[in-house]
A and B are shown apart, each in its own frame.
Chain A
């Protein structure tokens, strides 16, 4: 069966510090992968998606970037965090048509 992992679970970072969030999927090959952010108020904002290694599509211009160095690894990064980057970050992979989400990372930028 497929499993999706995200870490860390929670993170508190000062403004201006770098960020690296990692997501890995097990039990499937060449999955479509997605990064979402959920700020207070519940809405899901798609940040990046990837249909294969090295292929990244950005949905929202911002100070975040994503990379897919391996088939089942998806990384979200920032060189300098802003206060507005605080939120709940979710990684997902696509099954047949639905998405399966990881446990999420709660990021607080102070």
Chain B
């Protein structure tokens, strides 16, 4: 069975600090997909990134970067020079390959990031 752990319940930083959100996963499959979503105070979950299990390349998108390490089963998310607008709950998720195409993801419990001005 798949499992996603986000050990950090809440992180509080001051604007311009760098912050890393941790995500550790468990799966028995060799083919799987990892995701990060952002949920701002408005409530709608926004898809940020997807990583395939066979692609360990790290990715950078502006102030966001993601570090995928299969050896430690981790998919961590770093925000550089945080801003108040980054305040949100961030979810990590894992989806295993599923015959029939259902692809039911497992979500972590989320990390609440508060960025103070």
Distance A17 CA – B114 CA, assembled complex (angstroms): 38
Chain A residues within an 8 Å CB radius of B44? 90, 101-104
Distance A99 CA – B44 CA, assembled complex (angstroms): 12
Residue in A90, A98, A103, A106 with the greatest tally of chain B CB atoms within 10 Å: A98
Interface string of A30-60 (1 = CB under 8 A from B): 0010000000001110100101000001010
Chain A residues within an 8 Å CB radius of B102? 32, 49, 51, 57
Chain B residues within an 8 Å CB radius of A59? 104
Interface size class, chain A = 20 to 34
Q: Given contacts A42-B109, A42-B112, is CB(A99)–CB(B47) below 8 Å? A: yes
Distance A104 CA – B101 CA, assembled complex (angstroms): 24
B27 to chain A, nearest CB (A): 14
Chain A residues within an 8 Å CB radius of B91? 44
**A79 at the binding interface (Cβ < 8 Å):** no
Q: Which residue of B lies closest to A42 (CB)?
A: B110
Distance A90 CA – B37 CA, assembled complex (angstroms): 14
Residues of A within 8 A of B (CB): 32, 42-44, 46, 49, 51, 57, 59, 88, 90, 92, 94-104, 106
13 contacts between A and B (CB under 8 A): A32-B101, A42-B109, A51-B101, A51-B102, A90-B44, A94-B103, A97-B95, A98-B35, A99-B45, A99-B105, A101-B37, A101-B45, A103-B42
